[in-house]
Amino acid sequence: MKLLNIKEFTEMENFDNAIAEILEVDTIELDQELISFECWDSLTILSIISHADETYKVTLSAAEVNESKTVGGLKKLIKSKM
């Protein structure tokens, strides 16, 4: 198991706020399905991919984002690639 360094931990602390902003909502729950958000479309997926690349230096594909299914799954996916 890889341990997160302080910078990675701090960045993941901001994950919920950043993803909520991308999903155009005030708050998110880790068990919420991504497709349940009103704004969920290909542009939102691209925004998540861009955010992961810029913030976490992680490369995601659209298929990986879709396969993550939930907000928590997305967070786990990003952590697994850090």
**Maximal CA-CA distance, the chain:** 35
Grade residue 14 by pLDDT with cuts at 50, 70 and 90: confident
What is the model's pTM?
Answer: 0.84
**Looking at the predicted structure, is the pLDDT value of residue 31 above 80?**
yes
CB atoms within 10 A of CB 70: 17
Backbone angles phi, psi at 25, to 5 degrees: -135, 165
Grade residue 22 by pLDDT with cuts at 50, 70 and 90: very high
Dihedral (CA of 71, 42, 62, 81) sign: negative
How far is it, in rounded angstroms, from Cα 75 to Cα 77? 5
Rounded to the nearest integer, the mean pLDDT of the chain is 89
Asked if residue 45 lies in contact with residue 22, where contact means CB atoms within 8 angstroms, the answer is no
Q: Model confidence over 64-78: pLDDT tens digits?
A: 999 999 999 999 999
Q: What is the mean pLDDT of residues 11-32?
A: 90
Domains and CATH numbers, the chain: 6-81 (1.10.1200.10)
